[in-house]
Amino acid sequence: MTEAVPGPDTEKSSPVSPGRTWLRSAAALLIGVAGALVARQVMMPMPWLLGAMIATMVASVAGAPISAPVALRPLFVPVLGVMLGSGFSTAVFANAGSWLLTLALMPVYITCTGVVAYVYLRKVARYDRVTAFFSAMPGGINELLHMGEDAGGDGRVIGLSHATRILIVVLTVVLSYGFFLDVQVGGQRSFTSFSSLALSDVGWLLTCGVVGAVVAPRLRLPAALLTGPLICSAIAHTAGVVEVPPPTILSWAAQLVIGAIVGARFVGVSVAEIFRYLAVGIVATMLILVVSVIFAGIVSMFSPTEMAQSFLAFSPGGATEMSLLALAMGQDMVFISFAHIARVAMVVALTPIGFRLFRRFLA
C-alpha cells in the first residue's frame, strides 16, 4: 500500500448533472436499506450502519451507478449527537464511586490502544499519518470518521477500519463468553416511536439538535455537528428535562445515511484493495483487544470488579451491544454503558487535541 491510500473518485473525473447525482444518491440509499434489512435478519451489530455500509461498498466495487448522499449529512449527523447524549442520566452517576479506577485508567487505555494501533497502521499497513491516527483511536465510527475527514484523512479507510473493529470486537466477545460461560446475548432493544414522545420531549430534542449544531461550530468544537448536539443532549438528559432518546427510526435513518456515504466512497476501488483494508482492520482490532484484556486484568486485580465485567467495559465495541451482553450476563449494565459513553466522550474530546499537539511528531 502506498503512502497515500488509493481510492479513485469517479465523479471528479466525469461530472454528473445535479439531477443525476440525486438519482445516484437515492440508489445508494435504497441499496443501503436492503443491506440494513439483511443485516437485521442475520442479527449483525449496528445493522443500519454496518449493513448499509457493506451493501453500498459491494455495489460500489461492482460498478453500480451510485453516489454518496453527502447532502443529507448535515441533517442527520446532529440526530446521532442527540442520540448519543441521551445515554446520560442521573442514574448513570448513582454508583460512580465504584467506577473510579476504570474511569481513571480510561485515558491511559485510549492512549495505549491508539499508540499500538497507530504504529501498526503506519509502519506495517503504510497508511498516511492522518488516516492512521484517526483509524487507530478506539472511539465511535461516526465521531472519528467526521474528525478524520476534517483533518484531511481518508474517510473511506477510517470508516472501514472502525466498522471492522466493531464487528470483530462484538463477535469475539459474544463467542468468547458463549463458549466459556455458555452465555448468549439476549434481550430486546428498546424502540422509541414518535407517538411515545410528548410535545415537550420533541421540543427539547429539537432544541438540543439545533442549538448544538449552531453553537458548536462557533466555539470551534471538533466534529461540531456531532459534538454540539451530543453535549446539549447530555446536559438535558442528565438534568431530567427530557428522558427519552430521539425516535428510533430517526436514529436508524441517520446511521443508514452515514453508512451509505462511507460505502459509496468505494466506487472505483478494486476488490483486492477492499480485502487489504479488511485484513489490516482485523489485525489492528486484535491488537486493541490484547490491550483491553491487560487493562481489564489490572482493574480486576485492584478492585472488586470481576474480570468479565471489566473486559466488557474496556472492549471497544458498540455500546448497545456491550450493554446487551452485560444484561445477559447479569453484570452492571449501567456501569458498562457509562464506561463506553465515557470512552467515546474522551476520544471525542482528546483526539483532536492530541492530533494538534503531536502531529509534528507523527512519523
198: left (phi over 0), alpha (psi -120 to 50) or beta: beta
Q: Higher-confidence residue: 90 or 61?
A: 61
Helix ranges restricted to H, 62-140: 73-85, 100-119, 129-136
Geometric angle at alpha carbon 6, from 3 and 317, rounded to 5°: 90
Query: How many angstroms separate the Cα of 147 from the Cα of each of 43, 128, 131, 134, 234?
Result: 29, 15, 10, 8, 20
Residues 6 or more apart whose Cβ sits within 8 Å of residue 23: none
What single string gives the DSSP state of each residue in 121-136?
IIIIS---HHHHHHHH
Mean pLDDT of all residues in 202-226: 88
- pLDDT in the model for residue 7: 41
- pLDDT in the model for residue 189: 53
Geometric angle at alpha carbon 159, from 168 and 162, rounded to 5°: 30
For 6, which DSSP code?
A: P
Mean pLDDT of all residues in 237-250: 89
Q: Is the predicted pLDDT of residue 13 greater than 60, yes or no? A: no
Q: What is the pLDDT of residues 86-132, one digit of tens each?
A: 877 776 666 667 688 998 999 999 999 999 999 999 999 999 999 99
For 222, which DSSP code?
A: T
Q: Is the predicted pLDDT of residue 217 greater than 50, yes or no? A: yes
Q: What is the pLDDT of residues 306-361, one digit of tens each?
A: 887 888 899 887 665 666 566 556 667 668 877 887 888 788 888 888 888 877 77
Q: Is the predicted pLDDT of residue 6 greater than 60, yes or no? A: no
Q: Is the predicted pLDDT of residue 8 greater than 60, yes or no? A: no
Mean pLDDT of all residues in 41-65: 86
Q: What is the pLDDT of residues 248-280, one digit of tens each?
A: 899 889 889 988 988 887 777 778 887 888 889
Highest mean pLDDT: which of 66-75, 114-123, 145-154?
114-123
- pLDDT in the model for residue 193: 86
Lowest pLDDT segment from 50-64, 169-183, 290-304: 169-183
Q: What share of the chain is helix, strand, coil (3-state, %, to 5)?
A: 75, 0, 25
Mean pLDDT of all residues in 219-233: 82
Residues 6 or more apart whose Cβ sits within 8 Å of residue 193: 247, 248, 249
- pLDDT in the model for residue 363: 61
User: H or E stretch including 285?
Assistant: helix 271-302
* CA proximity to 247, closest of 204, 202, 203: 202
Helix (H, G, I), strand (E, B) or coil at 36: helix
Contacts of 289-295 with C-beta under 8 Å, sequence gap 24+, read: 289/168, 289/169, 289/172, 289/315, 291/109, 291/112, 291/113, 291/116, 292/109, 292/113, 292/316, 295/105, 295/108, 295/109, 295/112
Question: Which three cell numbers mark 108?
Answer: 491511559
Q: Higher-confidence residue: 327 or 66?
A: 66
